[in-house]
Amino acid sequence: MKQGNLVVLPGLPAFYDYEWYPQPDDVRYKELPSSFYDVFKAGAEFMKECDAFIYSTCSAYEPEAIYATRRWLKESGSRKLYTIGPIFPWPDTIFESSKRGLLATDHEVPEYGTPVRAFMDRILASHGENSLLYMSFGSLWWSESDYIRLYVEILLEHEIPFIFAIASPHADLPTELIEKVSGSGFAMISKWCPQQTILSHPVTGWFLSHCGHNSILEALSQGIPIIAWPLAFDQPGNAAYISLSLDVAFELIQVRTGIEGLKHLHRGGSPPVGTCESVAAEARDVLRRMRGSEGNRKRRNAEVVRDKLSRAWKNAGDALEDFKKLLRDATKD
C-alpha cells in the first residue's frame, strides 16, 4: 500500500503516489505476457548501461519532461537524448508495402477495414463531422467489465455514434449487448479497427482511450480530444497531463476501483465512489460537457497541439533534427 507521498515530476500535475494505481492488480496485470515483466525488470539495467536514449516523443507534446531529462543526463554524465517522435504514418503517406502489420491500411485488411470505413462514411452523411466517438483500450487492456458495459449502454441511450475496438483477450461484453449495438444502426463493435484511419476520418470527434503514449499521439496528431480512462503503467500520468496540463481531455475519475483507486486525488474535485451510479452520472456529465463550450475549448487546444506535432518532422523540426543528430553520432568512427 502506498503512503500518500506527493510526487512532483516535470510537466505533470502534482500526484499522490497512489494515484498511479487507478485499478487493482487483477485488472492492471491480468495475464500480461511474461515478456512485459522481462522488459521492466531489465529496464533499470538498460538505463545504466546504454550509451544514449531514443524517445518517441517531441517538444511539441512534452517540452518540460524533455528539458528535464536532458538536464539530468547532462548532470549525470555525457549520454544524449534523441527525441524522434511521433513515429507513425501521417495522413498523406502512401505505402507500397506488404498488406500486413502496423502499416496496413483499411483497404489492405478488407475483412475488417472496409466495413469500418463504410460505417464511418454513413455516419458522416447522417450525423456530420465530429459526431462519432471512437473507443479502445488497446490490444491488451480491459477495465472493470460492469463499468464498460454501463458506458456502452449510456452511449446507446444518448444515441451517440461510436466504434468500439475490443482487441483485448479479456474483453467480455455479453452477446445481447453486442447484438443491441449492431442493431442500433449508429454503433459498431469490432475485434480490430484501423485506428489511424478512424482518427483521421472527419466523422471522428472524440477518442475514449486508456491513454497509452502512442494512442495519445495518434489522436492529437489529428486534433482529436480525448476521454481518458487510464489503467496502469504510464497511463495515469498521461491522462493527468493531457487533461490538466494540455487541457485536451476529460479524465474519468469514477471508473477508478480498488484500495488505491478509490482514494481522494490531489487535484481535488469529486472523489471516486466505486459504484455504478457514480460511473453513470459522470459518464452522462462528460458526454454533455464534451458537446458544449468546454468540449469545444479542448478541441481547439488539441488542434493547436496537432499543428505543433505536424512541424516536428518538417524542416528544422526537433524530431527531424534529432534524427539527423542520431544518424551522425551513430556513424562516427
Strand 15-16 vs strand 6-7: parallel, antiparallel, or unpaired? antiparallel
| Residues forming beta bridges with residue 165, ordered by sequence position | 136, 190
User: Is 72 within a domain?
Assistant: yes
146 and 39 in a common domain: no
Closest CA to 267 of 225, 289, 237, 297: 237
Residues 158, 294: one domain? yes
Give strand pairing partners of 242: none
Per the structure, how many domains does the chain have? 2
Q: Is the pLDDT of residue 272 over 90?
A: yes
Given this model, what pLDDT does residue 251 score?
97
Verify that 258 and 157 share a domain, yes or no. yes
Domain-embedded: residue 13 = no
> Are 173 and 300 part of one and the same domain?
yes
Across 21-30, 37-46, 178-187, least confident range: 21-30
To the nearest whole percent, how much of the chain has pLDDT over 90?
66
User: Is 130 in the same domain as 219?
Assistant: yes
Angstrom distance (rounded) from CA 286 to CA 314: 36
Does residue 9 belong to any structural domain of this protein?
no
What distance in Å separates the CA atoms of residue 81 and residue 322, rounded to the nearest whole number?
9
Q: Are residues 123 and 69 in the same domain?
A: no
Co-location of 70 and 56 in the same domain = yes
Q: What are phi and psi of 129, to 5 degrees?
A: -70, 150
Average pLDDT on 311-319 reads 91
Least confident window among 70-74, 109-113, 147-151, 239-243: 109-113
Q: What is the domain-level CATH number for residue 285?
A: 3.40.50.2000
Instruction: Quick: pLDDT tens for 108-153.
Output: 344 445 789 999 999 999 999 999 999 998 877 777 788 999 999 9
Same structural domain for residues 299 and 229? Answer: yes
Q: Which domain holds residue 114?
A: 106-310
Q: Is residue 113 part of a domain?
A: yes
Phi then psi dihedrals of residue 80, to 5 deg:
-110, 160
- pLDDT per position as a tens digit, 190-235: 888 889 999 999 999 999 999 999 999 999 999 999 999 999 889 9
CA distance 71 to 48: 16
Q: Are residues 281 and 292 in the same domain?
A: yes
Task: Dig out the grid coordinates for 290 from the structure.
Answer: 464534451
Mean of the pLDDT values across residues 159-186? 90
Contacts of 317 (CB under 8 A, 6+ apart): 58, 311
Q: CA 57, CA 63: separation in Å to the nearest integer? A: 9
- Kindly indicate the confidence band of residue 291, based on its pLDDT and cuts at 50, 70 and 90: very high
179 vs 195: CA distance, rounded Å: 23
Residues 172, 136, 29, 31, Cα dihedral to 10°: 50
The verdict on 261 and 208 lying in the same domain is yes
